[in-house]
């Protein structure tokens, strides 16, 4: 029976392999478990940075997690936030400031968390053609006659001063009081010496126009171009494709991108209520897994999938703008003045540079800006900032999702931050338009560095 030996050996190893695999699969599935809630509705605003949600749906990543997701466009950020709070939506593409402000109780009070940061960069500031003509003489030019970028608000300052002297209000638009866009626009203006105004919620002032040179007000993102065209505002800060749309429509000129204001700044997050995460832990991890896979797909092979992503986003149920308009910023370029198209390979980052990891330091940056502009009316110790950030940003859920993806060989450990050593804080960041360095560990020290903005001990 010598000849049977190799066969028995083979049969044994086969049996072992089969047995082993049949053990492994349920084991990992057991670890994660089936989703407790399978039918979900997610909200979004028509902006290109909602891409991870659209991709997770279209590429079947949600379905592979056993999730049946309906994706609904929302009219504005307020409606979206209310939808998540009252349960009409299970989760949504949110402004990073929304879960933070809600948890803090600025505006609406609700416990909202985020296990997943959606992207880096992706916004721009656009001014109307008329304002651009007035700004142009103040901007240095390159040899070929095109303006030197990044353009600072210094170029806008004389224009705003002229409006002020004539007694005309200088109106600009942003998308929500706690939006990235509000803080970016304020950051840019203040870096150029233009005061964007303070909030004083303790006195009931939530318009944010106290002491303002430029008056900032809220307009929903897709309405920005139409509002600019109507002359209600002279400029705005919004996400894509609404800056490029202004170029295509010939109604405005994007002067600066948020990439130039703060290189690789954290942008939107995926928000769910704390209650949802506690009630449906498996569902929460599975949503995060699908979103991570979508983000990886978006940045894969040096953005090779972007054209396909643009095609998906241009469908009327997602962003709906023309392919060319969306492609302008999503495929590594950005068009400033008509015809002045420049390379900005990192304009929209979805996965590189650990874009999706919810760093506490990202949340704290938003809190520093809320304090700087008076939305947080009183001084808070550094510990307060850190505690609040840890309440909202949930790297623990992200890690559970990432680890299971690594285990299933859908991702490699090298693609994520080193979970054993990282502490939720990015290294001090230096790429700001005014050269100020941000260290998330020391929020109060950071707030002190700004020429315009509330300082410690100051209360309006």
Which residues lie near other proteins (CB under 8 A)?
26, 29, 34, 38-39, 46, 57, 60, 63, 66, 68-71, 73-75, 79, 86, 88, 222-223, 225-226, 229, 245, 249-251, 314-317, 319-322, 325
Shorter beta-carbon distance to other proteins: residue 187 or 318: 318
Provide the minimum distance between the beta carbon of 293 and other proteins in the complex, in angstroms, as a whole number: 17
Both tokens of 184, joined, read 């970016």
Shorter beta-carbon distance to other proteins: residue 22 or 430: 22
Provide the minimum distance between the beta carbon of 316 and other proteins in the complex, in angstroms, as a whole number: 6
Shorter beta-carbon distance to other proteins: residue 222 or 271: 222
Provide the minimum distance between the beta carbon of 70 and other proteins in the complex, in angstroms, as a whole number: 4
Provide the minimum distance between the beta carbon of 290 and other proteins in the complex, in angstroms, as a whole number: 13
Provide the minimum distance between the beta carbon of 361 and other proteins in the complex, in angstroms, as a whole number: 34
Provide the minimum distance between the beta carbon of 13 and other proteins in the complex, in angstroms, as a whole number: 24
Shorter beta-carbon distance to other proteins: residue 82 or 434: 82
Provide the minimum distance between the beta carbon of 442 and other proteins in the complex, in angstroms, as a whole number: 42
Shorter beta-carbon distance to other proteins: residue 26 or 457: 26
Shorter beta-carbon distance to other proteins: residue 64 or 407: 64
Return the HEC string of the chain.
Answer: CCCHHHHHHHHHHHHHHHHHHHHHHHHHHHHHCCCCCCEEEEEECCCHHHHHHHHHHHCCHHHHCCCEEEEEECCCHHHHHHHHHHCCCCEEEECCHHHHHHHHCCCCCCCEEEEEECCECCEEEEEEHHHHHHHHHHCCECCCCCECCCCCHHHCHHHHHHHHHCCCCEEEEECCCCCHHHHHHHHHHHHCCCCCCEEEHHHCEEEEEECCCEEEEECCHHHHHHHHHCCCCCEEEEECCHHHHHHHHCCEEEEEEHHHHECCCECCEEEEEHHHHHHCHHHHHHHHHHHHHHHHHHHHHHHCCHHHHHHHHCCCCCCCCCHHHHHHHHCCEEECCCCCEEECCCCCECCHHHCCCCCHHHHHHHHHHHHHCCCCCCCCCHHHHHHHHHHHECHHHHHHHHHHHHHCCCCCHHHCCCCCCCCCCCCCECCECCCCCECCCCHHHHHCCCCCCCCCCCCC
Query: Which among 212, 97, 198 has a CA at the least distance from the CA of 455?
Result: 198
Shorter beta-carbon distance to other proteins: residue 19 or 66: 66
Shorter beta-carbon distance to other proteins: residue 55 or 397: 55
What's phi and psi for 236, nearest 5 deg? -155, 165
Provide the minimum distance between the beta carbon of 45 and other proteins in the complex, in angstroms, as a whole number: 9
Question: Angle 85-320-358 (CA atoms, 0-180°, nearest 5)?
Answer: 45
Beta strands 235-239 and 68-73: pairing type?
unpaired
Provide the minimum distance between the beta carbon of 405 and other proteins in the complex, in angstroms, as a whole number: 19
Provide the minimum distance between the beta carbon of 330 and other proteins in the complex, in angstroms, as a whole number: 15
Shorter beta-carbon distance to other proteins: residue 39 or 133: 39
Provide the minimum distance between the beta carbon of 317 and other proteins in the complex, in angstroms, as a whole number: 4
Work out the burial of residue 168: count CB atoms within 10 Å of its CB; fewer than 13 is exposed, 13-18 middle, 19 or more buried: exposed
Dist CA 268 CA 137 (whole Å): 35
Provide the minimum distance between the beta carbon of 244 and other proteins in the complex, in angstroms, as a whole number: 11
Shorter beta-carbon distance to other proteins: residue 69 or 151: 69
Shorter beta-carbon distance to other proteins: residue 122 or 225: 225
Shorter beta-carbon distance to other proteins: residue 124 or 222: 222
Dist CA 352 CA 290 (whole Å): 17
Asked whether 296 and 411 are in contact (CB, 8 A), the reply is yes
């Amino acid at each position: 029976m010598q000849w049977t030996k190799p066969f028995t050996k083979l049969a044994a190893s086969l049996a072992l392999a089969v047995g082993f695999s049949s053990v492994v699969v349920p084991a990992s599935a057991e670890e994660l478990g089936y989703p407790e809630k399978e039918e979900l509705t997610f909200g979004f605003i028509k902006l290109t940075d909602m891409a991870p949600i659209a991709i997770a749906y279209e590429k079947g990543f949600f379905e592979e997690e056993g999730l049946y997701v309906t994706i609904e466009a929302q009219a504005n950020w307020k409606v979206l936030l209310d939808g998540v709070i009252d349960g009409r939506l299970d989760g949504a593409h949110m402004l990073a400031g929304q879960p933070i402000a809600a948890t803090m109780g600025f505006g609406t009070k609700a416990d909202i968390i985020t296990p997943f940061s959606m992207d880096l960069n992706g916004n721009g500031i656009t001014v109307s053609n008329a304002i651009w003509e007035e700004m142009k003489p103040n901007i240095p030019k390159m040899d070929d006659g095109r303006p030197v970028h990044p353009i600072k608000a210094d170029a806008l300052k004389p224009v705003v001063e002229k409006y002020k002297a004539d007694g005309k209000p200088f109106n600009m638009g942003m998308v929500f009081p706690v939006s990235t866009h509000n803080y970016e626009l304020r950051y840019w203006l203040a870096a150029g010496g233009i005061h964007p105004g303070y909030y004083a919620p303790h006195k009931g002032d939530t318009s944010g126009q106290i002491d303002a040179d430029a008056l900032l007000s809220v307009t929903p993102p897709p309405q920005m171009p139409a509002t600019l065209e109507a002359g209600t505002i002279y400029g705005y800060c919004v996400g894509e494709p609404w800056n490029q749309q202004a170029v295509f429509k010939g109604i405005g000129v994007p002067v600066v991108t948020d990439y130039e204001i703060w290189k690789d700044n954290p942008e939107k997050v995926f928000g769910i209520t704390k209650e949802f995460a506690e009630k449906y832990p498996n569902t929460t991890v599975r949503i995060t897994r699908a979103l991570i896979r979508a983000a990886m797909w978006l940045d894969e092979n040096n953005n090779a999938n972007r054209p396909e992503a643009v095609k998906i986003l241009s469908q009327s149920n997602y962003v709906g703008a023309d392919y060319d308009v969306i492609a302008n910023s999503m495929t590594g370029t950005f068009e400033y003045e008509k015809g002045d198209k420049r390379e900005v390979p990192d304009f929209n980052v979805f996965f590189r540079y650990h874009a999706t990891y919810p760093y506490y330091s990202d949340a704290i940056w938003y809190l520093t800006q809320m304090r700087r502009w008076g939305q947080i009316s009183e001084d808070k110790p550094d510990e307060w900032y850190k505690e609040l950030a840890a309440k909202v940003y949930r790297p623990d859920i992200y890690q559970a999702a990432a680890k299971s993806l690594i285990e299933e060989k859908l991702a490699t450990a090298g693609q994520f931050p080193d979970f054993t050593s990282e502490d939720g804080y990015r290294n001090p960041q230096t790429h700001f338009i005014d050269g100020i360095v941000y260290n998330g560990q020391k929020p109060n020290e950071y707030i002190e560095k700004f020429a315009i903005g509330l300082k410690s001990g100051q209360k309006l």
